[in-house]
Each structure stands twice: as structure tokens, then as C-alpha cells.
Structure 1
């Protein structure tokens, strides 16, 4: 009986395995050879999909960041509901996504904090997506008359910056404080009050 065919080597499979390798060895010690070994292939096979270690790490970072963008985009794009309610839901979803990433898998979160510092293009793109979503919510509120912002892009950036303590990974240690939810709610309420028409 011939041996069972091996699972095909796909970019998605490589990225999943890379996450495991990063979790096990950390970002400074994990190599493409480690990823290839975990997959049972040559490192040249990995390089066929990702031309360098940097490209592989950027793809892993992009994949990780994209997971939170999908849920947030659903909130920003949802029909119905007031813009202030959408804005509150969006900020809450962003905070919860970041807290879960930090709390559910602290080893991988620490790894991604290092990767985020290296992958400025990927991070910049991610941040621009988030700010664009905020801008869409604010613009919807301005059009409906429930929010006021003479410069929507500037308002979106200001909201993002004002709430940074609740989504920027450098504040992850604070997310464990027993008062963090109350503090988040106070800042969110203040931001939304400031934008109300």
C-alpha cells in the first residue's frame, strides 16, 4: 500500500506553523529552518512561498492583525443603529480583541509585539484600516446629524489616539487592572460626548 499523500504546502499552512514555531522559540531564535523542520519540508520549499525570513514574519504579522479588522469592519459597515452606538461598539470590540490576544496567548502576544516593531509597513497599513473604519462611522454620524466633526479624518485619528491606552500593545500590562473596564467606559463616553452634534 503506498504511503498517504502529504498535506500540500500552502502559504496558510506555513503561516500557521510559523505561529507555532514563534510561540515555541520566540522571534529572536525562530528560523525559517525551524519552520521547515516543523512542516517536514526543506527550507527552500518555504522560500518558494515567502522569499525571505522578513517576508514570512511580515505575513504572519499581517495575518494576526487582519483577524481583528474583520469583526471591526462588520461593526463599521452594519446598516442601522446610530453612529454613536456603532462607535461605542467598535471601540469596545477593538479593546476586547486586543485584551483577548494578550490574555489568551501571552507568549505569542509578546512575540507579535516584537514583530510589530519590525513590520512598520504592515502595522501602518493596519492602523490606517482602523482609522478609516472610525472615519466611516463618524462620517455616517455627521451625515445623520448625530455627530459633529468639521474634519472627519482628523476626528477619526483623534479618537484613535485618545483611546490608545486600550488598544496599543505597549499598555497590555494595564489591561489586567481591575479598574480597566471602568476607565475604558469613562474615556469612551467622554469621546462620544465630545463628538455629539
Structure 2
């Protein structure tokens, strides 16, 4: 193993882990493979992530956080609530479609990892519904939406749009007409929220 010249950071380990998972899949990828890709001992990886499970959870969280961060910018924007809601839902759908369509091997790997890491997925869903609640609350505050309980409304919107972001529906995301179906659901939800 050649010594590495770069400082070993958690971020570098996560990047290498992603690549190893893409190459070998979740069943065959090991911490030794990650260490080899980085040119370090597996003990060096374990200094950052105490177990293989912790490393896999961190990779899962990193993947989910990328989507959350992108959407947070839309949720915090200053556009009208209706426009933000439409943009947020469209961005979530597009992010999931691209992950599934652009890199199917890695998407399949993350599907396995998210099944293993229910806590990370739960935190992700909580974060996303909180973003939706902020948008709906802003709409209620401006009079654009009628939502006595923005948090409950956000959960309902998230669940109602599940077909367009839940990985179990990934095979449907490339079908002809899926965008029209998505837009029809969003239109129905927006009409339901309007004052």
C-alpha cells in the first residue's frame, strides 16, 4: 500500500466508499477495499468510522443530505409559497429521478443502504416534511393557503407525492407520461391548500 500524501478525512473516506460501493455493490464492498482505494490501512478508516455499519450509515446520510440541502434553498426562498411548493416538489422528483436514472448501480446500492439505515431515512423524511411545513406555514401566513396545522398538511403532501420520490417507485419514474401525472397530483394538492 503506497502512503497517501493527502490528509485522511471523513469526507475523503466517504467519497472513496461511494466509489467502492459503486464498483463492488453493497454485498461485496469492504472496509479493506475502501482503505486500499485510499492507500491507507483499514485501521486508518476505523479511526474515523468505528464500524463498517457506521461507515455505511454515514454514506447513506451523506447521500440523503445532498437532496435535503438542495431543497432547503427552495424552502427558504422568498418566492410566493405556491411557487416554492411547486418548485420544491419538482426538485425532489427530479433529484430522485436523476439518481435512479443517471447511476442505476449506485442507486441500487443506496436502496440497500437506506433499508439498513432506517434512522438516517427517518431523519431525512423529518427534515423534508419540516421544509414543506415551513412553505405551507408561509402560505398560510400570507393568506395563500388554508392550513390550520402546517405540519399535518406537510406530512399529507409528502405522503401524497410518495410515488414521485419513494425509491420503491423508481421503475415508474422513466415511464412516458410520468411528468404529466406528477403535475396533476401537484395541481390537486395546491388547489386543496389554497384559501
Q: Which TM-score tier does this pair reach, normalised by the shorter chain?
A: over 0.9
Q: Distance in 2 between matches of 1:129 and 1:151?
A: 17
* Aligned with residue 131 of structure 1, among 129, 132, 151: 129
- 2:152 aligned partner: 154
The number of residue pairs the alignment matches comes to: 194
Q: Distance in 2 between matches of 1:32 and 1:70?
A: 28
Q: Distance in 1 between matches of 2:34 and 2:4?
A: 20
RMSD: 1.2
Alignment of 1:45 onto 2:44? yes
- Give unmatched runs, 5+ long, in structure 2: none
Q: Distance in 1 between matches of 2:75 and 2:41?
A: 43
Structure 2 matches for 1:69-148, cutoff 5 A?
69-79=68-78, 81-148=79-146
In structure 2, do the counterparts of structure 1 residues 38 and 86 end up closer, same or farther at CA, with 3 Å as the change threshold?
same
- Give unmatched runs, 5+ long, in structure 1: none
Instruction: Give the ranges of 4+ consecutive aligned residues of structure 1 lying more than 3 Å apart after TM superposition.
Output: none
> How far 1:4 moved relative to its partner?
9.2
1:15-65 superposed Cα distances (whole Å, 9 cap, x missing partner): 000000000111111111111111111110000000000100010011111
In structure 2, do the counterparts of structure 1 residues 149 and 5 end up closer, same or farther at CA, with 3 Å as the change threshold?
closer
In structure 2, do the counterparts of structure 1 residues 56 and 193 end up closer, same or farther at CA, with 3 Å as the change threshold?
same
SS in 1 for 2:11: helix
- 1:193 aligned partner: 191
